[in-house]
Structure 1
Amino acid sequence: MQRLILRLGCDLHAPVQWLVYSEQDQEIIASGELSNALNLSQLSEHANNSEVIALAPCSEVLITQVTLPANASRKALGAIAFMLEEDICSDINNHFFALGPREGDLQSVAVVAKDTLSMWQQAFKDADIFCQTMVPDALALPHIDNTLSLVQLGDDIIARSGASQGVSGEADWLLPILAKQAQDNEQEIKCFTEIDAAQALPTETTSADYSDLPLLMMLNNISAQSLNLFQQDYAVKREGNPHWQKWKVAAILAAVALTTNIFVKTLELNSIKAQRSELSTQISDTVARGFPDIGQYRQARQAVEREMRRLEQAGGGLSMLAILSQMSDAFASSGVTPQTLRFDASRTELRMQSVANNFESLERFRRDLQSLGFAVDQGAINNQGDQVVGVIVVKG
């Protein structure tokens, strides 16, 4: 896992120090300084593969503590802004109050202007960097009892003097104040970087520890319990994995194409099913007309073949198929079409209901059959629209 830590300035034009550290390899991947926060997008590649932690300059953040009743309710926490109203020179409605760890009756609080906090968040958004954690820079320094911890980043001095106490500002004016404060409070001073104008510090109570780069030391000092300015109304929620965003449009198009293809295939399948159902109905109707005595069956082809074998093997006289074979020329010349066929094998008699265009066609058909040596009886003949329907009995 990689972690990217960076320190913003009081405005977007201030330099930004940054460092990327690999916890797995226990080594620094890269570090440097941007000329200003408008160039944060240069870190987006590192940010995509890292947990991003931002440091806010304490020159823009008031860090303090408020004494609360032992069993303070949520309503008491909501009143913290009014408890600090006298310590803030402007309208408290323009400030955001972030809550930190609580020790006994002491509640740590960080106060920052809403406009400033929104400016920092917008800078990350414009750079397409996802950052959920912003800690006041002084609170990222080691907390050592009765000791003032110092770091210099660029022209700024960052100092931590207690669990919830810290400041930052330009070295020229802040360093003498810190030296006087340490002397009045009988505090030792520990420097974690080289300090410009260090002669302003009392040499007898000042020590140094340069074992780590300042940003790495501050990164290791931040934990889940650290005071995070990005909370409550300013909590940052992930909108989506940045890698996923790159492929989101392609994935949506692929899903639409797949859905469309499935829809089209479903329509085609339903159409085929409808055609099969219609064809099955036509086959059943045709079999029923041609073989009215065929009975129930599952497979039309097997049933028809079985019925034809039965008719061919019927004893005595000609079979129905033999009779129909001899009648083929008569059907063709007269234009008569059989609608139903019923064959009585015992009497070698074929009864059929036939359709013709007119009475003359039926009569010609009857004469043609008689010329073939068949005995033909003609039943009732009826008109059906432009056609005539009659029953003809043929005996072999």
Structure 2
Amino acid sequence: MSEFLTIRLSSRPAGPVHWLVWSLQQQEVIASGELADSSQLGELAEYGANRPVYLLVPGSDVLLSQVSIPSGSGRQLAQVLPYLLEEELAQDVDDLHIHMLKRESDKAHVAVVSHQRMEAWLAECEAAGLTVRQVIPDCLCLPAFENSYSAAEIEGQWLLRQSETQGICADPDWLAGWLMAQKVPLISQVMEEESAELQAEDAEAAAEALMDEDAAQTQTRIRHFTPAPQGMPGHWQAEAPELVMALLAKGASESKASLLSGPYKLQPTWHKAFKPWRKVGIAAALVLGVMIAEYVIRVQSMEQQAQAYQNESFRIIHQVLPQHKGINRSSYLRTQMINEERRLGGTESGQGLLPWLVKLRPSLSKVPQISVQNLKYDQNRNELRLQAVAGEFQHFEQLRVLLVEDFEVDQGQLNRDGQQVSGALVLRRRT
């Protein structure tokens, strides 16, 4: 992407927010402006919709420091770093986000910021619909020079960059004190040139001035891109004036000092695309889980029902065919039942006992007072003899009337024995 949006947040809660859209291809500003405060970040959603977003956070809210690395702690450096910095931090290390900017031999350059601040910055951008690619301390977006500092003023504050990983955001009131506190001031090339000129006139006096420690501390070269403040220590060397936000934007595009690590690590694009559908996915997963649970319960119920039917079928077969009792193999018992059915049904259609029973059943069901005690089938004579008992003589008569529709019926002698009447019926098929 040749264009990107750079946003600089203020160190003050209600401070203005500077923004700028920079084109790498054209090397010029596409759009820029200033918001009253961070609550208006939503106005930049259109500019950040299809462009990378670089978020510059106040250097005054980020501690840039370095620490010595104990030998043998290389593999566990991420876990050790918080405790190496514990003595110089006023807050509990658990409340701080510590990001390693660079490692040099036995030194680690780190950026320290509170989780509260990081979460607040990212939450404001997310609420405004802005997807942040990098979070960078603003002072580390100034140009880095090997032999001097760089400085620029924005929103009444001075941004100074000392090196690749060191810098500050300072109010003018304590800028002078900070500059005087630097232990290794750098002698400017301008002063060296001036000294060479003075050498021809008064080499000895110039040498004594450069040798003087107090004088050296006030000769730190600072390359400034905005008008220099008055009465500050060090030698302030003017650079070509440039729009501060443009200067910071160019530095942001080249910077690798992003604070988005650990819990704030940038998520893959697919993860962000999935995020709006996360609730729908969770709901779908719950519904799917319920459906699967219901299916499993239904299958278990059907299996239990099938097992119950099988057990009942075994019980009936064992009752009908007691010679096979104790055998529970379905295939074997099925074969025996088929054989028995064939035996009872006869070899020809309409022959055997079963067809008789089929026609006999409707008549018997209409006279429930009659109980059949014995059946005897004679295939050779093509007749069926049955012994039965009933409560009254008339029950036998009712049954005989019903049976004559399908059979030739011979009714034997009926005998009463107490409360029961017993008798026999001989049935023949009508020809």
Normalising by the residue count of structure 2, what TM-score does the alignment of the two structures yield? 0.57
Describe the shift of the 1:361–1:215 C-alpha distance in structure 2 as closer, same or farther (beyond 3 A).
Answer: farther
Question: SS of the residue aligned with 2:160?
Answer: strand
For residue 166 of structure 1, report the CA deviation from its aligned partner. 1.8
Of the three residues 319, 335, 347, the one matched with 1:310 is 347
Match in the other structure for 2:148: 147
For residue 217 of structure 1, report the CA deviation from its aligned partner. 1.1
Are the counterparts in 2 of residues 101 and 227 from structure 1 also a CA contact under 8 Å?
Answer: no
Of the three residues 366, 374, 384, the one matched with 1:350 is 384
Equivalent residue runs for 1:187-202 within 5 Å = 187=221, 189=223, 191=225, 195-196=226-227
Distance 1:21 1:275 in 2: 73
For residue 105 of structure 1, report the CA deviation from its aligned partner. 4.2
Match in the other structure for 2:55: 54
For residue 199 of structure 1, report the CA deviation from its aligned partner. 10
Equivalent residue runs for 1:255-266 within 5 Å = 255-261=285-291
Describe the shift of the 1:80–1:171 C-alpha distance in structure 2 as closer, same or farther (beyond 3 A).
Answer: closer
Q: Output one character per residue of 1:334-377: Cα deviation in whole Å (capped at 9) or x when no partner.
A: 444769866331242425576x7635466436765699654556
Cα RMSD (Å): 6.1
1:394 aligned onto 2:392: no
Question: SS of the residue aligned with 2:59?
Answer: coil
Letter in 1 for 2:254: N
Distance 2:282 2:81 in 1: 48
Are the counterparts in 2 of residues 349 and 395 from structure 1 also a CA contact under 8 Å?
Answer: yes
Match in the other structure for 1:78: 83
Describe the shift of the 1:332–1:96 C-alpha distance in structure 2 as closer, same or farther (beyond 3 A).
Answer: closer
Are the counterparts in 2 of residues 342 and 352 from structure 1 also a CA contact under 8 Å?
Answer: yes
Distance 2:404 2:236 in 1: 143
Question: SS of the residue aligned with 1:108?
Answer: strand
Distance 1:375 1:311 in 2: 26
1:252 aligned onto 2:253: no
Match in the other structure for 1:207: 239
Distance 1:8 1:102 in 2: 28
Q: Output one character per residue of 1:301-352: Cα deviation in whole Å (capped at 9) or x when no partner.
A: 99969965635464xxxx6578668868964764447698663312424255
Q: Which runs of 5+ in 1 are unaligned?
A: 86-90
Equivalent residue runs for 1:1-396 within 5 Å = 5-18=6-19, 32-42=33-43, 53-66=54-67, 78-82=83-87, 84=88, 91=90, 98=98, 99-110=100-111, 114=114, 118-125=116-123, 128=126, 134-169=135-170, 183=188, 184-185=218-219, 187=221, 189=223, 191=225, 195-196=226-227, 205-208=237-240, 213-223=246-256, 226=257, 228=259, 235-236=263-264, 241=271, 243-261=273-291, 297=334, 308=345, 310=347, 312=349, 314=351, 331=364, 334-335=367-368, 336=370, 343-351=377-385, 358-360=391-393, 363-364=396-397, 373-375=408-410, 394=426, 396=428
Query: Which piece of structure 1 moves more, 301-310 or 5-14?
Result: 301-310
Distance 2:9 2:373 in 1: 96
Distance 2:165 2:272 in 1: 35
Letter in 2 for 1:358: G
Distance 1:285 1:16 in 2: 86
Question: SS of the residue aligned with 2:283?
Answer: helix
Are the counterparts in 1 of residues 378 and 384 from structure 2 also a CA contact under 8 Å?
Answer: yes
Describe the shift of the 1:142–1:306 C-alpha distance in structure 2 as closer, same or farther (beyond 3 A).
Answer: farther
Question: SS of the residue aligned with 2:264?
Answer: coil
Are the counterparts in 1 of residues 38 and 124 from structure 2 also a CA contact under 8 Å?
Answer: no
Q: Output one character per residue of 1:68-120: Cα deviation in whole Å (capped at 9) or x when no partner.
A: 667778669734443x58xxxxx5669958454232344434465x4xx6245
Are the counterparts in 2 of residues 292 and 341 from structure 1 also a CA contact under 8 Å?
Answer: no
Letter in 1 for 2:247: P
For residue 252 of structure 1, report the CA deviation from its aligned partner. 3.5
Distance 1:343 1:364 in 2: 22
Distance 1:283 1:185 in 2: 107
Distance 1:208 1:123 in 2: 32
Describe the shift of the 1:137–1:172 C-alpha distance in structure 2 as closer, same or farther (beyond 3 A).
Answer: same
Normalising by the residue count of structure 1, what TM-score does the alignment of the two structures yield? 0.61
Letter in 2 for 1:16: V
Distance 2:92 2:361 in 1: 105
Question: SS of the residue aligned with 2:161?
Answer: strand
Are the counterparts in 1 of residues 223 and 236 from structure 2 also a CA contact under 8 Å?
Answer: no
Query: Which piece of structure 1 moves more, 156-165 or 303-312?
Result: 303-312
Letter in 2 for 1:139: L
Describe the shift of the 1:148–1:288 C-alpha distance in structure 2 as closer, same or farther (beyond 3 A).
Answer: closer
For residue 57 of structure 1, report the CA deviation from its aligned partner. 2.0
For residue 146 of structure 1, report the CA deviation from its aligned partner. 1.0
Letter in 1 for 2:378: D
Are the counterparts in 1 of residues 4 and 52 from structure 2 also a CA contact under 8 Å?
Answer: yes
